[in-house]
Structure 1
């Protein structure tokens, strides 16, 4: 199971790199817009250096096949061949994926809303495919069923693709995506924060600490050695 951060905020990445078993960072033009006035390549190079061996996923912005391929080539030339290129699954995107896969690019299929899109992405040999969980629910698409179907297709065909579920508004959606068969999740840091900041969790931590202090008259286990 892999966990990604859907952000380019360096402070958040630095913090959650210490907290999560971080597999990588995903980005798109909307996330980059939220980051404010940044130098695209300089900032993403800083992200890449910050995360080390974890993977960085960067999205093309062109709409034609040639534009997508040129975007992909430029990203790789500037940031390195290890970067995963995110390409939306439409006709142009699939053609670009086919041509780039022949050149052994790392590819993440994105903007997936339907089973057919996912099946085609798997057939095209993408490394990751990103179904948009919350966006599917917003248009009354059964997101867990889509993910289940894609996971079954991967098992049946013994494909190497992984489902990198994206677009979450809460941890309940993340849980359902994993139960449906997603191999990986990407989410905004606030979603992870939400899941780990339940009052009940902190109450348990505090209760255990207080019981320890009351029993052993020391604030820590190490304190017993002094």
Structure 2
């Protein structure tokens, strides 16, 4: 499974790269707004800093607007993936962009049927939002299982990019189901290596070492 980081913060991206965990980046208008700086300059900096795919999102609601925006977004770098909302006009745009050789990421996916439609339109990625599904009382991970099964049934090349991740378990379960990518907020990324038994074991080892004859000499 590949790990993307879900952020528009360059410091978080650089730190995640230092850990060696980053295969790509996903952004959205809300993440850019949080940074309170010129989004175009920031988008260009992110695309330059990252070797892997960088998802940049359109804000238009018609296929014509989305395609026009996509043409501008891909100018930020050869690694740009254009995020398109899961609406009917979005699917029209995805098909056109696919024919133009532009990678797309269909976002705001909340049902297996939406994911199937996006795959049929030629999407490079689909982004089911597991955390938001969980918030409704449904099971976000069941959604991932259904999408992976459908894509495998029909050999779709579209990749399942699990989004709205709230905990490490979302990542574990997605990996077990065969999802291609998890896009992870930095605060969750920091928790991936943590385990209470690891902390306890390390503390015990260090305490024993201090009591070892000749330790520290």
Report the counterpart of residue 23 of structure 1 in structure 2: 23
Per-residue deviation, 1:29: 0.7
User: CA separation in 1, counterparts of 2:166 and 2:52?
Assistant: 24
Q: What RMSD in Å do the two structures reach over aligned CA positions?
A: 1.9
TM-score, length basis structure 2: 0.91
Corresponding residue number in structure 1 for 2:5 = 5
Q: What CA distance in whole angstroms lies between the structure 2 residues aligned with 1:19 and 1:217? A: 33
The Cα shift of 1:211 comes to: 3.3
For residues 124-147 of structure 1, the C-alpha deviation after alignment (integer angstroms, 9 at most, x for no partner) is 221111100011112233322221
Q: Is the 8 A contact 1:108 1:127 kept in 2?
A: yes
Gap runs ≥5 in structure 2: none
C-alpha distance in 1, partners of 2:215/2:71?
Answer: 60
Distance 2:17 2:99 in 1: 33
Mapping of residues 69-108 of structure 1, within 5 Å: 69-77=67-75, 79-108=76-105
- Which residue does the alignment assign to 1:195? 192
Q: CA deviation at 1:215?
A: 4.0
Contact 2:4 2:181 in 1 (8 A): yes
Q: Secondary structure at the match of 2:23?
A: strand
Where 1:63 maps in the other structure, the secondary structure is coil
For residues 84-139 of structure 1, the C-alpha deviation after alignment (integer angstroms, 9 at most, x for no partner) is 01111110110000011000101111100001100111122211111000111122
Unaligned runs of 5+ in 1: none
Question: With structure 1 as the length reference, what TM-score do the two structures score?
Answer: 0.88
* 1:154 pairs with 2:151: yes
Residue aligned with 1:109, SS: strand
1:81–1:105 contact (8 Å) kept in structure 2: no
Whether the aligned pair in 2 keeps the contact of 1:3 and 1:20 (CA below 8 Å) is no
In 1, are the aligned partners of 2:151 and 2:158 still within 8 Å (CA)?
A: yes
May I ask how many residue pairs the two structures share in their alignment? 217
